[in-house]
Chains A and B, each alone.
Chain A
Amino acid sequence: MVVSILATKLYIPPPPPKVVTRSRLIHQLNEGLAAGRKLTLVSAPAGFGKSTLVSGWIASREHTAAWLSLDENDNDPVRFLVYFIGALQTISPNLGADILNILQAPQLPPIDSILTALLNEIAAIPNDFTLVLDDYHLVDAKSVDEALTFLIDHLPPQMHLVITTREDPSLPIPRLRARNQLTEIRASDLRFTASEAAEFFNRIMNLDLSAEEVATLETRTEGWIAGLQLAAISMKGQQDIHGFIQAFAGDHRYIVDYLAEEVLRRQTEDVRGFLLETSILDRLDSSLCDAVTNRTRSKSKLEQLQRGNLFLIPLDEKRRWFRYHHLFADVLRMHLMAEQPDQVPVLHQRASEWFEQNNFTADAIHHALEAKDFDRAANLIERAVPEARRTRQETQLLNWLKALPEEVLQHRPVLSVHYAGTLLQTGLMDGVEKRLQQAEQWLEKEIHKQPIYVDREDFQRLPGLVAMYRAAVSLLNADVTNTMKYAQRVLDLASEEDNLLRGSASSLLGLAYWSSGDLDTTYKMFSNGMNHLLKVGFIPDVIGGSVTLADIQITQGHLREAMSIYERGLQLATKQDAPVVRGAADMHVGMAELYRERNDLITAMQSLQKSKVLGEFNGLPKNPYRWRIAMARILETQGDLEGALDLLDEAEPMYVGDFSPNVRPIQALKARIWIKQGELGKALDWARERELSIEEEPSYLREFEQITFAKILLSQYQSDHTESSLNDAIRLLERLLKSAEAGGRMGSVIEILILQALVYQMKKDIPVSLSALEHALKLAEPENYIRMFVDEGAAMATLFREVAARKIMPDYVGRLLSAFEAERKGIGEETPPSAAPASSSLIEALSQRELDILRLFKTDLSGPEIAQELVIALSTVRTHTKSIYNKLNVNSRRAAVKRAIELGLI
């Protein structure tokens, strides 16, 4: 399920058994920690002993520490975060479990919300600790730099970060420096001083050099540790050490050239061969080395290299995996390339085979590509696709695919179509068409060449897959005709059991019908699609689809059905014994909107609170936008029009476009508030900008805006009493009504009828006005619409008194009248206590662990018993408890339980 974590990347390399004590640097590091600085930056070129210093420092103290050795693959921010959390889990085993879950989901929430959730969990770690990011120079991705900057900016006080790197990272270093939040150790600090060099040669390496000889070596290498180490290895067992030093000092050659050759020359032919041949490996174990060198006894070779200090670094406790020091590995590889260039692909080939047999797919692909055995690589990639797609490794998948030459891809239809899918999934539209065509050519009858694929079944699904991606591309291009054409083709082609294909196609077809305004078909197709996807376990997609389905029901005037869709979605999202699935927060937002319409503002606010406590992190990408809209509507209902406008402004840039049409644009929502504020000029400007006119043909996609325009005309009449505005409004509403009735959009029909009642009231034609209102009431009663009427204010209240006098639907009208009455008396009593948390601060979201503890609060377990139940330390329970109290703004266990029950958290 999770991106499989290589434990070797999290292993804290032990310092070598005998090592130069670097008290001045250790002192500097300790001081930085004691001063509470956030970051220690160890920045120097290769071979300056950065990692050795930091691992030695960690080993020297009782301080908790975690380690992450970075590599080029960590340029994918998702993978970086997975490993970042993996490293933290070595300290706090359950940390970030739900975040890891989220990182595997098909759509990611905003990265800041993931990071905030992570910071919340870090903040709950009871003791101080250090995290080391080793070899940060291997990360080039701006997205990772930005994520790390965010983490550093908000770093909880108990965490200290150490970065070792060969180049200064793109982090806000000057700012940290200026605020005294940075400890810096650079090349000039790391160089061995003369006395450190003396200690190294004489105490560590037992070479017994004179002070003068040490000084000569120190000058020649300028204290560069890798150079001194190579020199020491070269001198071991040397007869004429003095002569060696003189020759080295008098030579102009690049230090590594001179010394590495010296070191290699002194090895037996056997060891030398082993070093060169295994240099192609990023990590070594004896069985892998046996395979690559085509020899046995690698185990004893590795032991021999370790004894000889030949830059072999252990990667785990069991001493199974090792790697060469990167600098030494580069030199070895260079020698291999210079001396046996033909051997290089052969070695990679053997490595690829071994990794494949041992189920290390990524390594197998890497070495196949290095061997330039592209057919082999293509086979491996094709087999890796489903797993890579499922675990969100599209970035890596794309890199592999890009490494394959066109000639290879041309014969691999299955890979081509997956290439298109991967591009689409990473949001890259360029090239999708080309790959689809490449796959499609194999579907023609007249083809005389043979396609290459791994699995016959994959090839048989090809026509369906191609059509499915074409439907998706068409929909993204707002090409409804082609979306329908291709989606229908998928349904014709896909087998009955292919739930994934059928579900995707059916949903796409539904969405295409949506744009055309045929809501019944939209609903049927889309819910059918969701049922298929549910069968193959695409739960987040299904929950996200609930929003679409409920939206349709609301437009059709089926508020009760919409509510039960949200309830079912919530059930799916909060199944027992599983972490909350993303989308639960979205369900609460949808329910808030429905409670508001029922005039149950307290429950509506509570729903929004629940959504907020679950965190944006638990929401789908659209949720931050939808949450603010729902909140703005509540504020509007409460009469806080300015507050509502502020929230709409805040929501606007958060809009995330997806496959569904935006039928309720935010500008129209604003225009409706402007009308209420008497800002008719602004509303008219908006109408002009949107080119709204009474001549325009009514259409579903523009309906919300067109109804808004009718409201503007009404308001215009009230301000200038020109008969033409009124007549325009009448004509417009007439046409809108016909269109909405024809499309079965009863929600819209009710709203239009209400406006008709108002317009005829203005025209002093009370019988017509009342008959429109009565019609609206008949449609609205079964679904218990309240706010739709009450929001129209005093004029509508007057009409209702007439309706009541005529004893029309007395129960419903009675309820509405009392709502009008409550409104007139002032909204104060309706306002729930904690109104107006305008911008939702994410820090308040409760973590999974905090929710666990909250649930146990309800029992009569004591603190120590809770700790036992959850298998965590009592101090951890206390830390979480403090954080729960803070977030819920309470100061006792009882109050916390009460509040949590109110919020529906437990």
Chain B
Amino acid sequence: MDYKKIDKDNLTIHLINTSRFKTINVVVFFTREFNKNDIVYGNLLAYNMVYSSKKYNTKNKIAIHGEELYGAKVSSSFGLSGKLESFVFSLDFVNPKYTDSKYMKESLDYLKEVVFNPNVENEEFNLEYYNIIKNDIISKINSIKINPNLYAGIEYAKIMYDKTPTSYSSIPTLEELESIDNKKLYKFYKTLFDGSFKIDVCVLGEVDESIVNIIEDMFKGIKCNNKKMSLTINHKYKDEVIEKQESLHFNQSKLYIGYRLIDMSDHELNHVLRIYNTILGTMNDSILFNIVREENSLCYSIGSYVTKYNPSLTIYAGINKDNYEKTIELIKKCVDNMSDEKQVSRLFDSAKKTINTYLNNYYDDVISQINTYYNREFESVEDVETLRDNINKVTIDEVINLNKKIKLSTIYLLKGDNN
């Protein structure tokens, strides 16, 4: 695999040349600092731009065109990560050596059409399709309350991350949706190219450097913002523990427990915490899995994850509401066990090896590779082998001592009251 970064005045191109995959991926990122008012535009724009375009001005036409290109697909999303928001347009298509060389140019033209030639007339997105997309988003908003994991995750984040960017869901509210129209949306669309956003284009696959000229040409005349941005949120968590419960008609209850991470160094956040989290909640024989699920039969799913850019650790479990108190007590015990040298030592070497297996997966995963190079624009990201070396240097004492920097912050229960 060869990586080459090409800095231009108006965009940064990341060329990852590899024959590892049978697909070619081109991903365009528009990034700027998070603004909660953009969430609604993010959703409307991401949906509108792939629903139709000026040339392929119906859903049928754009879908047929993708199918003609051997299922080439342009997908779009609006996402929040740390302090930043991004519009992402991703093209994937089969390496033309398996189909026909003409599909390279035609697939790139398809991406260009979606990004630069939206279905707009008189400075407005096509009203008919705008309203269809609006209905789709209303349906998405209404669906939140029938998806217990999504609902609980959103409500937990609101409490845990208290008005910081992480506390917002990328799904807008109905009120926000009503405040926008197709004209305002087009005005916002134009900001993608007026210097408000940093623009990155990642290309991964078996390609030659001629693709750089095609991409440069695609973005000719476009302005971008090259101001340095950071992902990390300096969230001042409150000292007291916030506990909240609410009920909906589900069979199972969803429990989220949030721990704030206090004054961790980069080494602790990137290396020590990774081992801590693996031992506590992600490996086969993790402490949470063993104590809560296997020894006490209280749940089917349980685990933990780290939110790196708003430093926190979250434990989640699907439980029966009658076992709430007992589960909380056991989860607290599991976190306490992370200070116990005997417990940590038992799993320490295995956790490192499990992480090594996960890290190997990087080489097999298109998205991980693209995101690594993209994220490097905003923070120092170690390459996978340096990361592996540094994780392998972590000591048992470092993991045990980390427990002093982890404090309970939020307990949220979505009670399933179907019984």
Q: Does B associate with A?
A: no
Binding site for B on A (CB under 8 A): none
